[in-house]
Structures are given as structure tokens and as C-alpha cells.
Structure 1
């Protein structure tokens, strides 16, 4: 039972890899599908870990690796594949900046923020979903500006709310994280 949350996280990781694979073979709609399935799995891995009392440092690190692939690299490649390739130099710089900021954001979270009542900086799953949606505009300039804004928001000190249910003395309490 204690391995179930990690298996869900690995499912998220696999979805990110399959999204990238889909992009390499020019199937962006399949990539979007895998990113959204990864989001679904990412939502449930932490919940499963808390319910099964299987929260671990390994699970936390594995979750960050999976999130970097599914919500960092895959959406960045998706944005480049859909529109940013038409502005090659700027497009690749924006894509790289997004992926780097995602990695920094996850590193900061693991070291400093995992027990805070709010997220400091935009969570990478939210940024990844926003980037996928923004990519559907199919406007490279708007997308370049949007990806830069999302990159900034991930590493900013702006607080983002997080609803997490925890049990304290047999009472369910909502906590902002």
C-alpha cells in the first residue's frame, strides 16, 4: 500500500514522457491529452500519500521530477511545436527560460516551501496548464510574452493559494499551502 502514491507519481512521469514522444512524432493533440492525464495523476498522488500515511522524502522528490517533465518540459515543447518555432531564436529562448524557471521553482519548493501555508510563486502544474491553453491562441508573439510571464510567476515571490485537506485531532481542516 505504501508504494501506491509513488506508482501514481510514476504514472504522471510516464504521461510527461509520452507527451514529449507525441510531440516528436508530430501529434500535438495526443501530447495535450497526456499532459492533462498527468495533471489528473498529480492531483491524486499527494492525496493518496496522505490517506495511506505514505508521505516520504523520496515521494516528494519523485513528484518534482515528474512535474518538471509533465508541466515544464512537455508544455514548453508543446508551445514551441505549436507556434514558437516560427520565431526560432526568441522561441527557443522563451522555451528554455520556461523550463529553467520550472526547475528553479520546484527546487525552491522542495527546500523552502513544502510546509508553508501558501505557494510562493506559481505552481508548475498551473503554469503548464496555462501554457498549453495559451498555446491554442497560435500567436507566436502573444505566446512568447505569455511564456515569459509564466516563467516569471513561477520564480516570483507572489503567493498562490493551495487548498489541502488535512486531519488534525480527528477534525478535517482546510489549510492553504
Structure 2
């Protein structure tokens, strides 16, 4: 008898959530989660193309997943559809797209020639991504860091792009990283360490564009988009170099403040 009221309560909750006779759920509130699932599908499909050695498509899919990762959160805020379910789904998607998929990619691309050592550094990277996302989950409601808005450590999507830096270099024809697997393995482990470090990293929220310079910023974005359409791997490699330089500058400028 004690179970019956509990079941009735559960039924009522499910009815509220799925849009029963009592409460209907606007379809727009499901849109952010659907976008997250599209990003997750891109990450899973990237692994498929890696196994087929179609590295260009695989890399492009991970870049798409990184772009989608910023879109689902924006949609959730604009539609007032943020939820704990969506946050957890986004975190799980991030681990696969930016922790597991890049690790498998780099291993299959170059580290398979040193399988023991290579896999160890893949594990370091993937576990670092997992730990970073877990830390983010438990501190999601914590007060924002003091001073200019910034991330603590490298965010998972940015970490994935940095992890793919050796791939971008090779696909751009600048440097054949597949001939240097040990160097790539050490670099991948270093990216993992950056993800779980306390190094302050740039946040888009800290970017303030004066009105009189907005047109120049838009022109710059248009140039980057156009370059991505013609020389995508070279542009992505260059963006990774710029981001690494910014990280070094941030770490040096705040070396006495972060712990």
C-alpha cells in the first residue's frame, strides 16, 4: 500500500515532463537537447571515419561538434530552457566528443606506431578531460572567479582542438607529425595537463568590442571564415598556435595569483 502513492507521484511527474493531459511541454524547450545530440552524433561519426582513415572528414566533424557545443548552451539561455538534464547530457557529450574521440583520433593517426607509450598518453588526455568535466559539474553553481571573466584550465572543446593540432599540421602539409609519434604523445599529455590545471584561460565573455571597432571585428571574422573555406587545416593550425601563445601569456601574467 505504501508504494501506490509513490507510483502516482511518479506518474504525475512523468506526465508533467513529457507533456501529458495536465501540462504540455513546448517543443522549443527540447531544441537545445536535440542540438546536443547532433553534436554527440558528430563525435561518434568522427570515430567511424577515423577507423576508415578518412582523417579530413573526421577532423571536420570534431570541429563541427565544438561549434555545436557553444550553440546548445546559447539556445538554452535564449529559450529559457536550461535544465539539469540538459547540463548532464551536455557534459556526457563533451566527454565523448572532446575526450574520447580526439584521443582515438591521435592514437590511430600517429601513436599506433608506439602502442604502449602512445596509449598511456591517450589515457592521460582522456582522463584529464573527464576530470575537468567532473570538476566543472560540481562547481557549476559556484561564484564566478574574481576579475575579468576567464576559465580555469583549458575548456574541453578548446582542449580537443589543441589535441588535434598535430593533425591540422599534417593535413595542412606544414609538418608530417606522423613521423614523430613520441613528440606527439608528450604533446597530447601536456594538453591533458593544461585541461586540469589552474591556469587562467581566455573566456569569450571577457571580450568587449568598442562600437567604433565593431565593423573591423566583423571584417576579421569574415576573413577567417573565408580562409577556413579555402585552407581550413592551415587556418585551424594557426588558430591553435595563437591560442597556445595566449595561454602562455595568461599563465605568465598571473603566475603569482593562481593556485
Q: Confirm or deny a common fold (TM above 0.5).
A: yes
Paired residue for 1:150, among 186, 191, 196?
191
Q: Which runs of 4+ in 1 moved over 4 A?
A: none
Paired residues, number: 165
- 1:74 matched to 2:106? The reply is no
Structure 1 residues 103 and 134, CA gap change in structure 2 (3 angstroms): same
Gaps spanning 5+ residues in structure 1: where? 166-177
Q: 1:140 to 1:73 in 2, by over 3 A?
A: same
Tell me which residue corresponds to 1:126. 158
Alignment of 1:1-177 (within 5 A): 1-113=28-140, 115=142, 116-117=144-145, 118-135=150-167, 136=170, 137-138=177-178, 139-164=180-205
Bigger fraction of residues in helix: 2
State the shift of 1:28 in Å: 1.7
SS at match of 1:152: helix
Give TM-score, length-normalised by structure 2: 0.60
1:103-131 Cα deviation digits (max 9, x unpaired): 11100001014553432221110010111
- TM score, norm. by length of structure 1: 0.87
Query: C-alpha distance in 2, partners of 1:17/1:140?
Result: 24
**More displaced 10-residue stretch of structure 1: 72-81 or 26-35:** 26-35
Deviation digits for residues 16-70 of structure 1 (CA, Å, limit 9, x no counterpart): 1001111222222221111011111112111111111111111111111111111
Superposed CA RMSD in Å reads 1.6
Partners of 1:8 and 1:160 in 2: how far apart?
A: 26
Aligned pair in 2 of structure 1 residues 9, 24: CA closer, same or farther (>3 Å)?
same
- Structure with greater Cα Rg: 2
Higher strand share: 1
